[in-house]
Structure 1
């Protein structure tokens, strides 16, 4: 059984920063996995999607199905994961729950104030305008977490809280309880 620490939050909420700090401090060798890693590595023909030569809408479903299946494959092979992801599509939570059911998933909400999200999104320039606000308003609805963090509390404080909660091994989240809370 692999351990998966699933960081779930809006675009630009600080998931990557938290994941890197967590990976540097956790006592086991966890992989840090995200969609951004794939995008930034050149796996996707990003420029051709941006130019309109290829339609992202046509490729998105297969891309995410492959990404989700790869997470299960990594965990099934015995790799512990720090996953940062945004569950912004109906059915993804249920799919990942099924794919990762044999593993210990610690589901963490990463909250960030809307004004900060919008500012970060603007400064980054690699997100569609408005995605942070849309995520802020929707992605945490109906999810039950093992831990909820506020990015405003600072990375070190949040890593401390996360490690303390993760080590206690209580898992009431959407991944363990098989229930959905509105």
Structure 2
């Protein structure tokens, strides 16, 4: 059984910063995985999608199905994961609950105020303006977490909270409800 710390929050909410700091503090080796890593590594022909030569809406379902399967494969091979993801599509949570069933998943909500999201999104410049706010308003609805944090509380405090609750072994998210 692998351990998965799943950071779920809007784009620009601080997931990457928290994940990097968590990876430095946690007592076991954990891979830090996100879609941004794949995007930044050039896995996708991004320019061709942006030019309209390829249709992202047609490719997106296959891309994410492969991404989700790869996460399950990494975990099945015995790798611990710090996963950053945005569950913005119907059916993804159910798929991931099933794929991660053999593993210990610690599901964390990363919240961030809209003004801070907007400021970060503007600075990043790699997202359509307003997408983070749209995510923040919808992605946490009906989710059941093991822990909820506020990114403005600071990285040190958030990592400490994650580690304390994760180490306790208490799980109550939708990833652990099927175990009861």
Q: TM-score, length-normalised on structure 2?
A: 0.98
Distance 1:25 1:122 in 2: 30
1:27 maps to: 27
Distance 2:77 2:93 in 1: 21
- What secondary structure, in the 3-state scheme, does the structure 1 residue paired with 2:43 have? coil
Corresponding position: 1:105 with 2:105: yes
The CA RMSD over aligned residues, in Å, is 1.0
Matches for 1:130-149 after TM superposition, within 5 Å: 130-149=130-149
- What secondary structure, in the 3-state scheme, does the structure 1 residue paired with 2:176 have? helix
Corresponding position: 1:57 with 2:57: yes
Distance 1:151 1:90 in 2: 25
Matches for 1:153-168 after TM superposition, within 5 Å: 153-168=153-168
- What secondary structure, in the 3-state scheme, does the structure 1 residue paired with 2:4 have? strand
Post-superposition shift, 1:178?
Answer: 3.9
Give the length in aligned residue pairs.
179
Matches for 1:85-96 after TM superposition, within 5 Å: 85-96=85-96
- What secondary structure, in the 3-state scheme, does the structure 2 residue paired with 1:32 have? strand
Distance 1:98 1:120 in 2: 33
Post-superposition shift, 1:129?
Answer: 2.0
2:169 maps to: 169
Q: TM-score, length-normalised on structure 1?
A: 0.97
- What secondary structure, in the 3-state scheme, does the structure 2 residue paired with 1:157 have? helix
Provide structure 2 residue ranges, at least 5 long, that are not aligned to the other structure: none
Q: Return closer, same or farther for 1:178/1:140 CA change in 2, 3 Å cut-off.
A: farther
1:81 maps to: 81
Q: Which runs of 4+ in 1 moved over 6 A?
A: none
2:46 maps to: 46
Deviations 1:113-133 (A, max 9, x none): 011001111111111222111
